[in-house]
Structure formats: structure tokens, C-alpha cells
């Protein structure tokens, strides 16, 4: 992939990602008005169980397809691409159908024992219908990433997003569900229809893409199951273990809060405010970062296959530095304006307060996503999964020990500790395998200083402006702060030379 094409794809994916994030925040804002914090909490809990089945059906598949097709292209065997994807399709379909059936037949037990709400079982049954479509889409996304057509999935994802939101609004308007369980069922029906639509669009685009990227006569591939075993199976097992812990974590939070003294309704509401409102807003700026992170993975995988060590070091260092620059800026934004954002999107003070409290770990959250993608490109996915598993296990243990005694603030402290641990372990491993080192003054202190100066200046200038529409005010907060931030970075640009990206360790 040429540098020009990389940035064009990155910018386009960023535009789509921004669209997805904005509509998702708007969607959640709409839902919070319809079902409240308690409804958002129940919605998140249902999805936490469903995400375990999604992990079992899809985890590692996209990476395996990308890596196998990338290797075939590098070896000049494009005629094997169709065979590779077809075999992965068969594997995914069989696996996802099996898991879908298991979810259907165990949904009553899961709803009663895990959610404490037997009426929510129909939501799990509806969601299970979408599993095969999601699994097959995962295969196609891996293919598109490998052949440098990652934009191909953006249209399908847009259709899914628009249809899901449109169906939700229509069903709420037409049926006006009166209970939280019926409201959640409406959301699950809309989500499943969106997955079906996404699969249909992806399949049409995939069939056209095959004609462009493969010879007329295809050849049978070998070693596909071995590749799935080597790449996807470890990811699936590790991700499944992590997903089980994440599901356990999400289910434990309301229960432990009840032991702390909260009622069922209050505990679910607190969970909904944190996980259903504040956390999605925390990830909102990733619209600009994560698309580039996903494109870096196949790029660094190719350089590794070709044994271009200097290129690997350069890509790694540049990705780390840019993610830190980006993360520090939005951490400062959330601290300065988080209370305003909470009121703007959710008409709620508490969600904004959570956003401000969690803001300091934003740089590590964004950095960890970039580092995970780089590790996968370096064939270090086992280490990445191991660190993620350790983080989740520590969270669950600490939740069991502290949450019932100290309440929701102890969970926030747990989030800080586990995020720091995961980011530190992942970054150390990446630096070891890529021969790159971190320069704290240039890569940490300077962007931190610039973010504090720029956001403080913007907040001071905006403090006297009142009466503007909410979203115009948010746009001004970001743009004015961002302008000052870029000027500040430019003013000390001598500290951000390219050689910090490729600095090698000395023996």
C-alpha cells in the first residue's frame, strides 16, 4: 500500500467512523430519553451476554483471513484467495450456527440466572439469529483488509447503522413499548435486521472484488485449517476467556452494588450511566484514530514478512507517538468540558462527571488499541490476548473484593489500575519485538504540556459565550482547542523529529 493510498483510505475510514460514532452517540442519547438510565443498564447487560457468543463466533477469524491472504499475495498465489475465504466461510458458518442454537436453548436460563430478569430471554433469542451473518461478515472484512479494500465494508456498516436506528425509531413510534423488557426487545430486533442488511451488502461487494483481485482460474489452497488453528484458535480461546470475564464483570457490577446498599433499580441505573453513557462518549474521539490503527496492522505485517526491520521500527514508533499526541488532547478535552458534554448528550450531570473522572486514562486506552493492532501484525497476538486476559481477570477479582464495600468509585479505581497494567505490558512487548524505545520527554511530557495549555486557553476564551446551540458549542470547543494544540505542537516541532520513531536500543 502506497503512503498516498494509506492516507486516503485512512481519511475516508475516519469520515465513516466519525459518522458511526456521531450517530451512535445520538442513538444512545435518543435511547436514554426513551428508556432512562435503568433501561440503558439492562440493554448493556443483555449485550454483555450476547458479546460472549459473538466472540466465540468471530474472534480471530478476521485476523486469520487477513494474514493468510496477505501471505498468499506476497507469495504470488492470488489464485488461492477464493479457496482460502471459502474454507473460512464454511468454518464460520458451522461454528456460528452451533453457537446460535446454544444461545437459543439456554436463553431462558441465562436471563433468569445471569440477568435476574426472565422476561429478557426473548432478547437473547432474537440476537442469536444475527450470529451467522456477523461471523460471515467478519471473514469478508478480513479479506477486504488484506487486499487494501477496507473501504468496501464502510458502506455495509453505514447501511447497518442507518437501518438499525431507523427501525428502532419506527418501532418505538408504532408500538410504544411500555416495559423495559419490551423496549429492549425492540432494540434487539433492529440490531438483528441491521446485521442481515450488512451481510447482504458485504456479500455483493465481495463477489465483485474477487473478480478484480483474483485470476480467472482459481486453485485450491492448503493449510487453511492450520492457519486458523495457529492464528484464530488462540485468539478465539483467549478472547473467549476474556469475554467471559468481561461478561462476568458486567453482571457482577449491579449485584455487588446491591450488596453495597443500592436497590436493583439504582444499581442498574448506575451501571447504565457509566457503561451505557459515559464509556461510549469516552471512545467517541477514536473515530479519528482507530481506522488508521486497523490499516497499520496489514502494513506492518507485510514489512515483517519482507524482513524490513527499519520500516517496522518506523511504523511502530510513529503510530505510538501519534496515538499519544491524540490521546493527551482528548483527555484534556474531557476534563475541561466533560460536564457540558454529559448534559448536552444525555441531559444528565452524572454521566459527564464520570467522563471527567475517567479522562486521565484516555491516552492509555487509545495507545493500547494501536499497540494491539501492531502486535497482531507482528504475529504476537498470543501475547496481546494474554495481557487482555490478565487485565480482565484482575478486574473481576478486584470487583469481588472491593465493590460491595466501597461502591462505584472503587470500580473506577479498578478501571485505572487494570488499564495501566495492560497498556504497560503490551507496550513493553511491542518495544521488545520491534527494537524501538520510548522518549518520555518528547513523546509524553510535551504533548501533555501542549494539551493543558491549549485547552485551558480555549476554555477561558469560550467561558463568556452563552446562548449558542449545544452542538455548535461542542464543535467550537474541539476546533478552537485543536487549533491551539496544533499551534503549540508546531511551535516546539523540533522536539518531534522522525528519529524518535526509529530509535533503536543499544546493546
Q: What are the tens digits of pLDDT across the range 246-263?
A: 888 888 998 899 999 888
Sign of CA dihedral 393, 398, 403, 405: positive
Domain boundaries of the chain, sorted by first residue: 1-247, 283-507
pLDDT value for 412: 93
Q: How confident is the model at residue 133 (pLDDT cuts 50, 70, 90)?
A: very high
Checking if the pLDDT of 189 tops 90, the result is yes
Q: What is the radius of gyration, based on Cα positions, of the chain?
A: 23
For the chain, what is the mean pLDDT?
84
pLDDT above 90 coverage of the chain, percent:
26
Which of 242 and 319 is assigned the larger pLDDT?
319
pLDDT value for 506: 36
CA distance 140 to 150: 10
The predicted model scores a pTM of 0.72
CA distance 146 to 88: 14
CA distance 303 to 17: 26
Percentages of the chain per state (helix, strand, coil), in multiples of 5: 85, 0, 15
DSSP 430: H
Q: Give the SS3 label for residue 379.
A: coil
Amino acid at each position: 500500500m502506497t503512503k498516498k493510498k494509506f492516507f486516503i483510505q485512512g481519511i475516508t475510514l475516519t469520515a465513516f467512523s466519525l459518522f458511526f460514532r456521531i450517530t451512535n452517540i445520538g442513538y444512545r442519547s435518543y435511547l436514554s430519553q426513551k428508556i432512562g438510565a435503568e433501561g440503558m443498564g439492562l440493554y448493556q447487560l443483555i449485550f454483555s451476554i450476547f458479546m460472549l457468543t459473538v466472540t466465540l463466533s468471530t474472534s480471530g477469524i478476521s485476523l486469520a483471513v487477513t494474514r493468510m491472504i496477505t501471505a498468499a499475495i506476497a507469495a504470488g498465489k492470488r489464485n488461492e484467495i477464493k479457496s482460502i475465504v471459502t474454507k473460512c466461510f464454511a468454518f464460520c458458518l458451522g461454528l456460528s450456527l452451533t453457537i446460535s442454537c446454544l444461545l437459543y436453548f439456554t436463553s431462558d436460563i441465562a436471563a433468569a440466572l445471569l440477568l435476574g430478569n426472565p422476561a429478557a430471554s426473548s432478547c437473547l433469542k432474537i440476537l442469536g439469529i444475527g450470529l451467522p451473518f456477523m461471523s460471515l461478515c467478519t471473514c469478508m472484512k478480513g479479506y477486504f483488509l488484506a487486499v487494501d479494500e477496507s473501504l468496501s465494508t464502510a458502506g455495509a456498516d453505514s447501511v447497518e447503522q442507518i437501518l438499525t436506528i431507523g427501525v428502532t425509531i419506527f418501532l418505538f413510534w408504532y408500538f410504544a413499548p411500555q416495559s423495559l423488557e419490551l423496549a429492549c426487545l425492540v432494540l434487539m430486533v433492529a440490531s438483528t435486521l441491521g446485521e442481515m442488511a450488512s451481510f447482504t451488502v458485504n456479500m455483493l461487494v465481495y463477489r465483485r472484488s474477487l473478480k478484480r483481485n483474483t485470476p480467472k482460474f482459481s486453485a485450491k489452497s492448503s493449510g487453511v485449517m492450520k492457519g486458523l488453528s495457529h492464528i484464530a484458535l488462540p485468539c478465539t480461546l483467549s478472547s473467549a476467556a476474556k469475554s467471559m470475564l468481561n461478561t462476568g464483570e458486567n453482571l457482577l457490577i449491579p449485584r455487588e452494588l446491591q450488596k453495597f446498599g443500592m436497590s436493583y433499580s439504582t444499581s442498574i441505573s448506575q451501571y447504565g450511566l457509566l457503561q451505557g453513557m459515559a464509556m461510549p462518549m469516552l471512545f467517541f474521539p477514536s473515530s479519528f484514530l482507530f481506522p488508521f490503527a486497523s490499516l497499520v496492522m496489514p502494513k506492518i505485517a507485510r514489512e515483517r514478512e519482507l524482513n524490513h526491520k527499519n520500516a517496522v521500527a518506523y511504523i511502530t514508533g510513529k503510530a505510538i507517538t501519534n496515538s499519544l499526541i491524540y490521546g493527551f488532547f482528548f483527555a484534556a478535552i474531557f476534563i475541561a468540558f466533560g460536564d457540558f458534554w454529559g448534559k448536552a448528550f444525555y441531559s444528565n450531570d452524572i454521566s459527564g462527571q464520570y467522563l471527567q473522572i475517567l479522562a486521565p486514562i484516555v491516552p492509555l486506552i487509545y495507545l493500547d488499541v494501536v499497540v494491539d493492532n501492531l502486535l497482531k501484525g507482528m504475529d504476537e497476538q498470543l501475547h496481546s490476548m494474554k495481557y487482555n486476559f490478565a487485565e480482565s481477570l484482575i478486574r473481576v477479582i478486584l470487583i469481588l473484593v472491593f465493590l460491595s464495600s466501597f461502591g462505584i468509585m472503587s470500580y473506577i479505581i479498578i478501571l485505572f489500575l487494570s488499564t495501566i497494567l495492560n497498556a504497560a505490558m503490551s507496550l513493553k512487548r511491542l518495544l521488545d519485538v520491534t527494537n524501538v524505545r520510548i522518549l518520555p520527554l518528547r513523546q509524553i511530557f510535551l504533548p501533555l504540556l501542549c494539551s493543558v495549555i491549549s485547552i485551558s486557553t480555549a476554555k477561558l476564551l469560550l467561558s463568556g459565550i452563552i446562548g449558542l446551540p449545544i452542538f455548535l458549542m461542542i464543535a467550537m470547543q474541539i476546533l478552537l482547542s485543536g487549533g491551539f494544540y496544533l499551534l503549540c505542537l508546531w511551535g516546539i516541532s523540533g522536539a518531534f523529529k522522525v528519529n524518535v520513531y526509529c530509535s533503536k536500543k543499544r546493546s
